[in-house]
Amino acid sequence: MSALAQALSWPRVRSDGVRLALWTSAEIAAATGGTAYGEFQVSGVEMDSRDVQAGDLFVALKGEAMDGHRFLDAAIANGAAAAIVDRPVDYPHVLVEDTTSAMHALAHAARVRSFATIIGVTGSVGKTGVKEAIFTSLERASRGGAHRSVRSYNNHVGVPLSLSRMPARSRFGVLEMGMNHAGEIADLTVQVRPHVAVITTIAPAHIENLGSMAAIAAAKAEIFGGLEPGGTAIIPADSDHFELLRDTALKLGAKVISFGRSAHADMRLMDAVPQANGGALVTARMGAIGLCYNVAEPGEHWIDNSLCVMAAVHAAGGDLGAAGLALAEMGGLKGRGARLSAKVPGGQALFIDESYNANPASMRATLQQLGQTPATRRIAVLGSMKELGDFAEAFHTQLAQPVAEAGVDFAVLVGPEMLALARQMGKLPRDTLGNAIRFAHCENAGEAIAALQEFGLAGGDAVLVKGSNSVGLSRVVEHFAARKR
């Protein structure tokens, strides 16, 4: 059969008959209750004028300190086809009373018109990486018919923005949901209305606001409240809060699929063989289904993540074979595991970019990953972990042992909370040669760069950079990784 004949015989799906434009002016006006001035179609939705691309709809959001209307000219100059505004302007626009409410209304309209299978993802650790892996798996098998929230657009602004961007032709939608306080996931999941709700793991992120691990688990379990009838909850079987998550989902009428290493896990790890690239060859089983696939991402946590991805893809009716290929090909995300080379004296140094986020569980996981990374020397640049409240000193102090176990030769500790770890580092026992781990405490990313320069990076070094995003350690990665071969 010729290539043309194969293309023509490709089975049609419901979405093939849907118009290509994301929104028309009439649809936007109907969804928001506004008035359209000008007839137009848009191909995207954006709230930041700097990110606008040709054909986008610019939503001029108003906050306490910023008014998007000030950037309307810039948005149009960057190619915006029209805008949602609360005052008349000289460009094609939809006039509404409140632009924030209008974006939520547009998101609601996108969800109502969609016949896609929706997957909602939350969790204390790994939700963005898992979201990307689920999306890549479904996108591969659906001829580009999958949609997902980009970056970490997972809050009260990012979720409706991500929904409003979902094409009517989408066959799958993968939406990330985050939280800092109880009740936030409950609000977001009502907007998303997932068919599959995923919790990656429970860890002490945001414990400052929630007070206990059980409260964190209960807040994450709010995602099940928005499940569509007959929906599926994907939960970590190895969590100390497995029963809480399971019982909450069952009480809400959800089906439950657990994943992990425990004997009771539905998607259960049978074996994981380390690979030369730091990844693993994973064998797993779910009932009568046997799976064997490669995970390109290094670290034990990505073996667990892969089980979560497989469970979610299965629940969504996706292709597990495509999911295996996606996991084998995925590279690290910027700020979340990307591996970059930097030119240094004597060759190349490896930078592991984990600069976007940090909590005690993810710190331990990435330090373990550093310890398994072949290197002449291992350097850890660790920034403060935020939102730990009264638990901050204890959690930072407890990182000393993982640092030692990772075989770190030099640690750069950044931020005031890291003083607790610095004090503990001085108490660590010396190794068999009588050597102590060298470390330096810095106030900010600029001082961390200077500390690394003074230490003297060399070819063969592996450098882990990890901290809460507000510490700004992405500057460290950008400074050194800008040095090309």
Distance, CA of 71 to CA of 58 (rounded, Å): 10
pLDDT one-digit tens code per residue, 456-473: 999 999 999 999 999 999
CATH topology of domain 114-329: UDP-N-acetylmuramoyl-L-alanine:D-glutamate ligase (3.40.1190)
Cβ proximity of 419 and 385 under 8 Å: no
Written in H, E and C, the secondary structure of the chain is CCHHHHHHCCCCCHHHHCCCCCEEHHHHHHHHCCEEECCCEECEEECCHHHCCCCEEEECCECCCCEHHHHHHHHHHCCCCEEEECCCCCCCEEECCCHHHHHHHHHHHHHHHCCCEEEEEECCCCHHHHHHHHHHHHHHHCCCCEEECCCCCCCCCHHHHHHHCCCCCCCEEEEECCCCCCCHHHHHHHHHCCCEEEECCCCCCCHHHHCCHHHHHHHHHHHHHHCCCCCEEEEECCCCCHHHHHHHHHHCCCEEEEEECCCCCCEEEEEEEECCCCCEEEEEEECCEEEEEEECCCCHHHHHHHHHHHHHHHHCCCCHHHHHHHHHHCCCECCEEEEEEEEECCEEEEEEEECCCCCHHHHHHHHHHHHCCCCCEEEEEEECCCCCHHHHHHHHHCCHHHHHHCCCCEEEEECHHHHHHHHHHCCCCCCCCCCCCEEEEECCHHHHHHHHHHHCCCCCEEEEEECCHHHCCHHHHHHHHCCCC
pLDDT for 210 equals: 79
Of 470, 219, 460, whose CA–CA distance to 347 is shortest?
460
CATH architecture classification, 13-98: 3-Layer(aba) Sandwich (3.40)
Cβ proximity of 476 and 482 under 8 Å: no
The more confidently predicted of residues 126 and 195 is: 195
pLDDT for 64 equals: 82
Q: Where are the domains of the chain?
A: 13-98, 114-329, 338-481
Cβ proximity of 327 and 294 under 8 Å: yes
Whole-number percent of the chain with pLDDT over 90: 77
Region of poorest pLDDT, from 40-49, 118-127, 331-340, 345-354: 331-340
Query: In the structure, what pLDDT confidence band is assigned to residue 191 with cuts at 50, 70 and 90?
Result: very high
Tokens 């970056």 appear where? 151
pLDDT for 58 equals: 98
Give the residue-averaged pLDDT of 77-105. 97
pLDDT for 214 equals: 92
**Res 431 pLDDT > 80:** no
**Res 337 pLDDT > 60:** yes
Query: In the structure, what pLDDT confidence band is assigned to residue 74 with cuts at 50, 70 and 90?
Result: very high
pLDDT for 9 equals: 60
Say yes or no: domain 338-481 is CATH 3.90.190.20. yes
**Res 16 pLDDT > 60:** no
Give the residue-averaged pLDDT of 146-162. 92
Distance, CA of 482 to CA of 474 (rounded, Å): 12
Query: In the structure, what pLDDT confidence band is assigned to residue 485 with cuts at 50, 70 and 90?
Result: low
Of 99, 106, 105, 26, whose CA–CA distance to 69 is shortest?
99
Query: In the structure, what pLDDT confidence band is assigned to residue 338 with cuts at 50, 70 and 90?
Result: confident
Query: In the structure, what pLDDT confidence band is assigned to residue 426 with cuts at 50, 70 and 90?
Result: confident
Of 374, 299, 382, whose CA–CA distance to 337 is shortest?
299
Give the residue-averaged pLDDT of 375-389. 93
pLDDT for 295 equals: 95
Cβ proximity of 96 and 152 under 8 Å: no
Region of poorest pLDDT, from 313-327, 337-351, 428-442: 428-442
**Res 15 pLDDT > 80:** no
| Max avg pLDDT among 65-69, 91-95, 477-481 | 91-95
Cβ proximity of 452 and 343 under 8 Å: no
pLDDT for 131 equals: 96
Query: In the structure, what pLDDT confidence band is assigned to residue 143 with cuts at 50, 70 and 90?
Result: confident
pLDDT for 180 equals: 82
Region of poorest pLDDT, from 11-15, 244-248, 304-308, 421-425: 11-15
pLDDT for 50 equals: 95
pLDDT one-digit tens code per residue, 202-241: 988 767 777 899 999 999 999 999 999 999 999 999 999 9
Query: In the structure, what pLDDT confidence band is assigned to residue 345 with cuts at 50, 70 and 90?
Result: very high
**Res 264 pLDDT > 90:** yes
**Res 125 pLDDT > 80:** yes
Give the residue-averaged pLDDT of 333-347. 88
Region of poorest pLDDT, from 12-21, 178-187, 302-311: 12-21
Name the pTM for this structure. Answer: 0.83
pLDDT for 335 equals: 83
pLDDT for 204 equals: 82
pLDDT for 257 equals: 98
pLDDT for 427 equals: 83
pLDDT, the chain, mean: 92
pLDDT for 346 equals: 92
pLDDT one-digit tens code per residue, 24-47: 999 999 999 999 999 999 999 999
